[in-house]
Amino acid sequence: MNALVVALLFSLPVTHIARPSQAPTTKTASKAARKGGTWYFAENGHAVFCYGPVVHVPQPEGGLQNVATFCQGEKIMVPLKD
């Protein structure tokens, strides 16, 4: 009798409970982990977030332009409003 019960238990289908998948990480979460950036006011009127220093770039007319470096997105240099 015991052998029959054990045989029935092993013959039953077993369903595996799937683990809930973790939420995918987004790019914004990974960028938020970066430290040391500063917000600047760009020449075009928009605010930009840059990680590099502000440098003075000579202008063709003979002056200096403040430029923020290594800004968020694809921009390496952004002219700043003085």
pLDDT band with cut points at 50, 70 and 90 for residue 3: confident
The alpha-carbon radius of gyration of the chain (Å, integer) is 30
Three-class SS state of 82: coil
Give the span between the Cα atoms of 64 and 36, in whole angstroms. 25
> Each residue of 54-82: pLDDT tens digit?
999 999 998 999 999 999 888 899 999 87
> DSSP string of 51-80?
-S-EEEEE-TTS-EEEEEESBSSS-SEEEB
Instruction: Output 55 or 1, whichever has higher pLDDT.
Output: 55
Sorted by where each begins, the domain ranges of the chain are 35-82
Exposure letters 22-59 (e unless 16+ CB within 10 A, then b): eeeeeeeeeeeeeeeeeebebeeeeebebeeeeeeeee
